[in-house]
Amino acid sequence: MELTTPYAFGKTVVLSYTEAERKVREELQKEGFGVLTEIDVKEKFREKLGREFRDYIILGACNPALAWEAFGKELDIGTLLPCNVCVYTGNDGQTVVMVMDPVAALSVIGNSELTELARTVRGKMERVLAAL
Torsion of CA 124, 116, 59, 37, to 10 degrees: 130
Using alpha carbons, select from 118, 86, 85 the residue that is nearest to residue 104.
118
Q: pTM value?
A: 0.94
Residues of the chain by 3-state class (helix, strand, coil), percent to 5: 50, 25, 25
CATH code of domain 2-130? 3.30.310.70
User: Nearest to residue 25, comparing CAs of 39, 35, 38?
Assistant: 35
Q: Provide the pLDDT confidence category of residue 1 given band limits of 50, 70 and 90.
A: confident
Using one digit for the tens of pLDDT, what is the confidence trace for 29-46? 999 999 999 999 999 999
Domain boundaries, the chain: 2-130
Mean per-residue pLDDT over the chain, rounded:
96
